[in-house]
Chains A and B, each alone.
Chain A
Amino acid sequence: MSSGPCHLSNTGDDTVIRARKLTKHFGDFEAVKGIDFEVRAGEAFGFLGPNGAGKSSTMRMIGAVSPVSSGELRIFGLDPVTDGRAIRARLGVVPQMDELDELLRVKENLVIYGRYFDIPLAQCKAKADELLDFVQLGDRADGKIRELSGGMKRRVTIARSLMSDPDILLLDEPTTGLDPQARHVLWDRLYRLKSQGVTLVLTTHYMDEAEQLCDRLVVMDHGQIVAEGSPAELIRTHSPREVLELRFVDPDNPGGPGAEINKAMSEKLDGVGARQEVLPDRILIYAENGEEALSEVHRREIEPETAMVRRSTLEDVFLRLTGRTLVD
């Protein structure tokens, strides 16, 4: 389409969110530094980044609650400054922190939330039952919020966000703090929503989550977008196919940190694989073929404590782009 550099309108294409030089200040501090991205109808779009990257700040601007400091943002082709109410009416929001009302029962939380959207009471009640079944909490309808586990609360919050049949679902760290089983249940529900045509916009710290859920994602760091693409594209572009992980134990200081020995080993490993990354506890060797790299290590008579070959992931992309690991 032929939009001018700074002019956006609701044209026929399927872009539902469009940001140009989107910026957010808190006082002097710039939390989001002029980012550009587009989200298309029906896709799952992710913001991946470490603490403080600006993910939530961006989500709250998209949610039409936090004013844009500068740049341009359009949701459904609408400007949140003038059409905030109309935008919010079509969004479902799962905030980073659960905001369930402990003074109300589980189902009441959903019903009252539906009323905020002016959905008739009888319809709210029917919808709440349907959604509690959808998140497999139908038996908890009359239970207390306090008695739910973290994963259950998250599912209630997701059910709540769906009360208004949103076109876009904004999920800020939907699975942080959940055990693997709870995460898989949530992922499964999100897949189903996506297959029903709901556009998903989510933030996450987790590479596997981004790889599982997102069609496209942007990697954010310090308020900027440092890479963009599908998970497979990002891995292809920014990281060789496989990773050889080596751990060494310092014979002089077996229980201590491996920094010294890793540094020494790193020199000996020079030239193995395409690239290496020295972390405090291990050395990563990036290579198209991890087994071949391992043979080369043995040929040089280097004896790691453990050696493991794995496929490279978004974690490696992030490390490559920022020089830091994502989750410590």
Chain B
Amino acid sequence: MAVSTPPPVRVWEHNFAIYKQVWASNVMASVIRPLMYVLGMGIGVGGLVDGGPRSGEVLDGLTYFQFFGPSMIATSAMMVLVNDALWPIHGGFKWHRVFFSQAATPITPGEIVTGVALWHFTKGLLASAGVGLVLALFPSIRSWGLLAAVLFGALTGLAFAAPITAWSAWREDTTSFPNINRFVIVPMFLFSGAFYPISQLPVWLQWFSRFTPVWHGVELGRGAVYGLLSFGQVVGHVAYLLLWCAVGMLLSRRVFADRLGN
């Protein structure tokens, strides 16, 4: 008898089988998109900002290019996973019904949720690694810290994917989905501290930034690459992201169990 595979990994295998068919276009997107951002923002805006009156003081002594580049890791993972957690999850209940297929086998709804999270984390790793590879092309950013930043990026992605999975599993239709991107994700992206330090914002907006998982991911990514964070700060940011993952997965478990077992 072969070694048994944990049930969540079997759910992961289903997603991987689908991904294998589209990996080429996915990989292209996860490399080309950050490349455009890094060049467009990092070099374009950087040319205007660097050497400005306060740039040395607010950018932690980094050039704008160095400041902006690593933040793309967490924001890209977020962007990719928000969409992965919306339509495909909803479709698993409403269209192709893959979750019902899985629930008819020895796999339980809770294990399906874990398997989905495992897959989302994998997609987060792939998206983050794409950015990491692009950044490693530039000597001013290249560092071993990029490896840790990729890991933190995937965690940031899951901190979004887990609660959004619960949402899209719970909704009866997809009318709210475009608005999640428009009114939730885009503001988080803009105030994430990716483009400028949040110290530039009014205090109440700084609190909004601190509330969003993506700011923590951005801080972790940049911190990992340039060694800017204390151990305690790293633990704090990671714990906050894990909290979002845990809450999201617990909510997902409830919704999945309700939908699959009634």
Contact = CB atoms under 8 A, between A and B. Distances in A.
Interface of A: 26, 63, 65-67, 84-86, 88-89, 91, 93, 95, 97, 99-104, 108, 112-113, 115-118, 120, 164
Nearest to B111: A85
15 contacts: A65-B104, A65-B260, A85-B108, A89-B105, A91-B104, A95-B100, A99-B97, A99-B101, A103-B96, A112-B14, A116-B11, A116-B14, A116-B101, A118-B10, A120-B2
Contacts of B102: 116
Interface in B94-151: 96-98, 100-108
A66 B262 contact: yes
Interface in B212-262: 260-262
A116 B106 contact: yes
Contact of B108 (A26, A84, A101, A118): A84
B107 A26 contact: no
User: Among A63, A86, A118, which residue has the most Cβ atoms of chain B within 10 A?
Assistant: A118
Contact of A112 (B5, B7, B17, B21): B17
Contacts of B101: 95, 99, 101, 113, 116
Nearest to A163: B105
B13 A112 contact: yes
Interface residues on B, range: 20 to 34
Contact of B96 (A66, A91, A101): A101
Nearest to B4: A118
Given A85-B108, A100-B96, A164-B105, 13 more contacts: A65-B103, A88-B104, A88-B105, A103-B21, A104-B18, A112-B17, A115-B13, A116-B14, A116-B101, A116-B105, A118-B5, A118-B106, A120-B2
A103 B18 contact: yes
Contacts of B10: 115-116, 118
B21 to A, nearest CB: 7
Given A97-B97, A102-B96, A67 B261 contact: yes
B96 A93 contact: no
Q: For the complex of A and B, list the 8 residue pairs with the smallest distance between their C-beta atoms, beginning with the closest.
A: A116-B105, A99-B97, A93-B104, A120-B2, A99-B101, A89-B106, A103-B18, A85-B106
